[in-house]
Amino acid sequence: MFSKFFVYLKLLRVTSWLKNVFVFVPLVFSKHLFDAAYFSEVLLGFIAFSFTSSLIYVLNDIVDAEKDKIHSEKKNRPIPSGQISKSEASIVLMILFFAVLFFSYLIRNDFVILLWAYVVINSAYTFYLKQVVIVDLFCIAAGFILRMIAGAVIISVYISNWLILTTIFISLFLAVMKRRVEIATSTNAVEQRTVLKDYSLSFIDQVSAITAGGVIICYALYTVAERTVLVFGTERLVFTTIFVVFGIFRYMFLVYKKNIGENVAEVIYSDPPMIINAMLFLLVAFYIIYI
């Protein structure tokens, strides 16, 4: 019984809920982290997005089950491996759908609109848009962007334009890195994902360089922006840029040299330097913003 339970957790991709921490970004940078009312609202939003992302993961796994069987790693997922049947997965899908509906009645309308926009975009991606070159990258990136904007909307706080731009670029960067690993590591990549025939490693490498640069520049400009300095009462946030630069470089190293990066959560969980860097960033940023 317990083994089956863990298989269902794997189907829900609980480890990928880490991506939903993007909803906490506005809370942290608006200096409301220790405001219980604000924190509880964002936590509810995090849970809602977690169930919603699992809804999309299960839908995607049902639709792509046959193609996943020929993928070196995805073939081990619960549905293509036969651990869970499509009919069982469909029941889970319906439960998740009603769970998202339930959350929709608990949370303010503007957040709910973004939540369902996430569902619509990713459903369209699952059934068609993943086959459209360039558009597929923006669909993947949209998920991260919607999470962050939703995190600001749920507590009605202002988001710096530079922070929005940083999120856009880091979202595109992660999407491009995902595609690069898919192309570099799979001998039958095109059979598994037809859009890959329209990409080449040289093109992907150029786009990754652009998006990586965009992340670093936009975040650096955010830290020294007049409004940022005014809100935090210090110019020291600029020192956190070094951790962002290291994180981007390390991620690129893992993708280019280790062919790791198709799953963002896997990189964060499994690479000690990334974990240490993330912790140092959080500690330094926390100290600068709150102490």
Residue 46 shares a structural domain with residue 106: yes
Query: What's the mean pLDDT when you consider all of the chain?
Result: 91
281: helix, coil or strand?
A: helix
User: Is residue 48 predicted with pLDDT exceeding 80?
Assistant: yes
CB 155 within 8 A of CB 179: no
Which residues in 210-230 are b (16+ Cβ under 10 Å) and which e? ebbebbbebbbbbbebeebee
**CB-CB neighbours of 130 under 10 Å:** 19
**What are the tens digits of pLDDT across the range 147-186?**
999 999 999 998 899 999 999 999 999 999 988 888 887 6
Task: Report the distance separating Cα 290 and Cα 197, nearest Å.
Answer: 48
Q: How many domains does the chain have?
A: 2
In angstroms, rounded to a whole number, what is the distance separating the alpha carbons of residues 225 and 28? 17
Does the CA dihedral 156-157-158-161 come out positive or negative? negative
**26 and 132 in a common domain:** yes
Q: Read off the pLDDT band of 1 (50, 70, 90).
A: low
Domain that holds residue 149: 12-156
Burial bucket for residue 256 (CB in 10 Å: 0-12, 13-18, 19+): middle
Q: Do 147 and 74 share a structural domain? A: yes
Report the CATH number that the domain containing residue 29 is assigned in CATH: 1.10.357.140
Domain boundary among 134, 156, 178: 156
At residue 142, φ and ψ (nearest 5 deg) are -60, -35
Same domain (yes/no): 96, 152: yes
**pLDDT over 90, % of the chain:** 73
Residue 132: predicted pLDDT: 92
Q: Which letter does DSSP use for residue 148 in this model?
A: H
Structure confidence at residue 44 (pLDDT): 96
Same domain, 99 and 79: yes
Residue 6, in any domain of the structure: no
AA identity, residue 190:
V
| Beta-carbon-side half-sphere exposure of residue 94 (alpha carbons within 13 Å) | 5
- Give residue-wise pLDDT tens across range 60-81: 999 988 888 877 778 888 999 8
The predicted structure's pLDDT at residue 23: 96
Q: Looking at the structure, do residues 147 and 75 belong to the same domain, yes or no?
A: yes
For residue 112, what pLDDT is reported?
95
Q: Is residue 7 part of a domain?
A: no
pTM, to two decimals: 0.91
Both 127 and 215 in one domain: the answer is: no
**What single-letter amino acid sits at 16?**
S
Looking at the chain, the whole-number percentage of residues with pLDDT higher than 70 is 96
Chain Cα centroid distance, residue 229: 28
145 in the same domain as 17: yes
For residue 3, being part of any structural domain is answered with no
Question: What confidence category does residue 191 fall into, taking pLDDT thresholds of 50, 70 and 90?
Answer: low
H helical segments located in the chain = 2-12, 25-29, 36-63, 65-68, 86-106, 109-127, 135-153, 161-185, 189-192, 201-224, 226-232, 241-258, 264-270, 272-290
pLDDT average, residue stretch 261-288 = 88
For 237, counting Cβ atoms within 10 Å of its Cβ (0-12 exposed, 13-18 middle, 19+ buried), the class is buried
The verdict on residue 214 lying in a domain is yes
From 127, 156, 185, give the residue that closes a domain. Answer: 156
Question: 1 in a domain, yes or no?
Answer: no
Residues 25 and 136 in one domain: yes
68 and 174, same domain (yes or no):
no
Domain check: are 146 and 51 in the same one?
yes
Q: Which of 8-17, 191-200, 245-254 has the lowest average pLDDT?
A: 191-200
Of 102, 127, 156, the position where a domain reaches its end is 156
Find, among 269, 265, 271, 282, the residue nearest to 19 by Cα: 265
Per-residue pLDDT tens digits for 33-42: 999 999 999 9
190 pLDDT more than 80: no
Residues 234 and 1: their CA atoms lie apart, in Å, by 54
Pair 252, 194 in one domain = yes
